[in-house]
Amino acid sequence: MKQIVVLSGKGGTGKTALVAALAHLASERACTILVDADVDASNLELLLAPRQRETHDFAGGQVAVVDFDACTGCGLCQEVCRFEAISIRSGGVNDGVCTIDPIACEGCASCFYRCPDRAIHMDERVSGRWFLSDTRFGPLLHAQLFAAQENSGKLVTLVKQQAREVGLAEGRDYLIIDGPPGIGCPAIAACSGADLALLVAEPTLAGVHDLERVLATVEHFGVTTLVCINKHDVNVARAAEIERYCTSRGVEVVGRIPFDTVVTEAMVQGRAVTEYTDGPVSSGMKTIWDKIK
């Protein structure tokens, strides 16, 4: 099973629309499994109308909890807390004992190790959920990271691992990953272990810079890389600049997708653009898939 990840140096370059098209084209002759690795803002499901098969909680960290019966209110835990998450109760129930604000707590466990009375323990914090769903193009693994929660890279790794297990069990040919934008932990988790990375660039003033930063990240992990330019006809000069940069780095530009409002129309209808129309955009995406294969 081959793993293909679609990435970009910034958000809004058209990755999700392209992934939906690739999933549609791949499903015509092969068995695919899909991953939406943008767990902070998952939106591939908007185009694929998934039917949830499984739902699982994701524990992305820990939070400190006080046992009020064992706490003597010595205040040592408050002294070592760097996040001001611990305070001493005054008045009412449990007067004089320590209390921990679960929102301010970062789960560092300093208070747990410092408490002489063993009155603090660490509980798993449910930070999100991940799902196994069915779509018209094959199974989809996607996730939701709760607001203000961390460890999105860990959640991406988990979702990819589950997708690989399902894909191997069902004999899938391709694992296509809709990657998160940028070069942070989620993007690193999405590209690690991939057989091919398709980088989406835009002909903007910062287009080469955006491409350069994500290309450096992908090359660090030794992943074979291809580039496509979305909306290339909006700024021909900048598109040519991106192509010259790719040539200088020995990276092949496998596609040039023109600007067309039909992409938005397809999204509104919840369709991949390649199943919605046979126009220039679909032709450009078909060329990209032919070269990827």
Backbone phi, then psi, for 264, in 5-degree steps? Answer: -65, -40
pLDDT reported for residue 243: 96
Residue 158, pLDDT score: 94
Count of CB atoms situated within 10 Å of the CB of 124? 12
pLDDT, one tens digit per residue, over 185-207 is: 999 999 989 999 999 999 998 98
d(CA 160, CA 7): 15
List the one residue out of 91, 25, 97 whose CA is nearest residue 281. 25
pLDDT value at residue 92: 66
Q: How far is CA 60 from CA 29, 128, 144, 275, in A?
A: 38, 8, 12, 37
Mean pLDDT over each residue of the chain, to the nearest integer: 93
Predicted pLDDT at 271: 93
Q: Residue 176 and residue 225: Cα distance in Å, rounded?
A: 14
Question: Which residue spans within 110-167 are E strands per DSSP?
Answer: 120-135, 138-145
Q: Which residues are CB-neighbours of 140 under 8 A, at least 6 positions away?
A: 33, 34, 35, 36, 44, 45, 48, 50, 131, 132, 133, 134
Ranges of the chain with pLDDT below 50: none
In this structure, are residues 143 and 159 in contact, taking their beta carbons and an 8 Å threshold?
Answer: yes
- Asked if residue 22 lies in contact with residue 36, where contact means CB atoms within 8 angstroms, the answer is no
- In order of their start, the domains of the chain are 2-54+130-292 (3.40.50.300), 68-118 (3.30.70.20)
Q: Which residue has the tokens 């860990």?
A: 154
Instruction: State pTM to two decimals.
Output: 0.87
**Which token pair is 203?**
């002909």
Q: Are 22 and 292 in contact (CB under 8 A)?
A: yes
How far is 162 from 189, CA to CA, in rounded Å?
14
